[in-house]
Amino acid sequence: MKFNTKTIHGGQILDPAYNSVMTPIYQTSTYAQSSPGKHKGYTYSRTHNPTRTNLENSIASLENGKYGLAFSSGLAATDALLKTLNPGDEVISTIDLYGGSYRLFKTIFQKYDIKFHFVNMEDIKNIEDKITKNTRLIWIETPTNPMMNIIDIKSLAKLSKKNKILLCVDNTFASPYLQRPLELGADIIIHSATKYIAGHSDVIIGAIVINNKRLYERLSFIQNASGATPGPMDSFLTLRGIKTLHLRMQRHSENAKKIAYFLKRNPKIGKVYWPGFSDHTNHKIAKKQMKDFGGIVSFIPKQSNFKTAKKITENLKLFTVAVSLGGVESLCCHPASMTHASISPEDRKKSGLVDSLLRLSIGIEDVDDLIDDLKQAIG
């Protein structure tokens, strides 16, 4: 089945009760047993729920993976994965990581004696330097948030395999339409499905996709034992969002391209971060591992100070100033004070995240209206 067909049908089981075409919302906590222990595979909705099952199979199908697991948020999925580690284990991650993942690593899991190294992964050698006999996991995001750096998944998968380390890719920014890390050799995919996968800014939800059966069973155990599972309504909304994922991603990418070039040509803009530019450091890798360059564009005004950036956000009329991304509407975020405020100013500086940087999540509106709005806001 091709990707565009999978968004509609992938992994879906027609509901056996009445053959309803859409997955029903099984708004129930428990299931009748005909005799103690005799049931149809569903006993309690923390453990399994038919609406969630269809969602889990759908996301696994999109990523071309064997197993999918849904969680109540992207961070709940991350939390479950980190719970497979033991005290003394080490994780290598990127310096420009999603702020919430960084906070979870540093303030929660570090306390349980799991050690985290944050390195610049544009050069793979930096990672090799940090590998020890205790390294269990390499955790990456690509494109990174908000600097839009690209990490070479295939090369990293080779390195991690050689050292018997698991490679996890947070695929939130690309979505499986643009990039499928398991096909490139990664072991684990994490999603904040809140973003592009659900796509309508109306649900908080997360997912993990893997091929390894043993790890799946362990994660499935943690999913039930820790209990951060999504409800049936949120699972349904995500399934409904997925049906247009391919159409939305195509438009997000087209609009973002036009906006990236508009910003690049604007004399009041200093620097634009978008992996589609041929002079982007890792443009060639982006071209190789992604179908297109996605819907996120970050930029710095020429007058690179917080005041100028703030003025632009205040002038915007069509773009909404808000955290999050990946919805049908265009958003503008100021990472230093919003999504990445939990990262210290020193660590932010290391990754180039200056206080004047703005991140745009380009929606699927008419691109001319979006450009007009940016034009008047930049002045």
Ligand X SMILES: *Cc1c(COP(=O)(O)O)cnc(C)c1O
Active site amino acids: 46, 98, 170, 195
Over the window 82 to 111, marking each residue x when it contacts ligand X by CB under 6 A and - when it does not, the resulting string is: ----------------x-xx----------
Stretch that binds ligand X, among 21-29, 73-81, 272-280, 371-379 (CB under 6 A): 73-81
Asked if 360 contacts 298 with a C-beta cutoff of 8 angstroms, the reply is yes
Contacts of 87 (CB under 8 A, 6+ apart): 112, 113, 114
Choose the stretch contacting ligand X; rule: CB under 6 A; options: 41-49, 68-76, 88-96, 352-360: 68-76
Pick one of 69, 75, 95, 121: the residue that binds ligand X (CB under 6 A).
75
Q: Which of 100/275 has CB closer to ligand X?
A: 100
- The closest residue (CB) to ligand X is 74
* By CB under 6 A, residue 255 contacts ligand X: no
Which bin fits 168, alpha (ψ -120 to 50), beta or left (φ > 0)? beta
Q: What angle do CA 106, 122, 112 make, to 5 degrees?
A: 15
φ/ψ bin of 203: left (φ > 0), alpha (ψ from -120 to 50), beta (otherwise) = beta
Residue 7 is a binding residue for ligand X (CB under 6 A): no
| Paired strand residues for 231 | none
Length of the chain: 379
Q: How far is the CB of 374 from ligand X (least distance, A)?
A: 22
Nearer to ligand X, 192 or 282 (CB): 192
Span near ligand X by CB under 6 A; candidates 160-168, 190-198, 218-226, 345-353: 190-198
Residues near ligand X (CB under 6 A), total: 16
Look up residue 273 and give its two tokens. Answer: 């971060």
| Nearest alpha carbon to residue 131 among 97, 91, 172 | 91
Contact residue for ligand X among 79, 141, 355, 373 (CB under 6 A): 141
CB of 115 to ligand X, least distance (A): 21
Cα–Cα distance between 339 and 318 in angstroms, integer? 21
CA distance 234 to 193: 11
Closest CA to 192 of 68, 103, 324, 102: 324
Pick the stretch among 9-17, 129-137, 165-173, 258-266 that binds ligand X (CB under 6 A): 165-173
Tokens of 17: 């009760």
Binding site for ligand X (CB under 6 A): 73-75, 98, 100-101, 141, 145, 170, 172-173, 192, 194-195, 204, 206
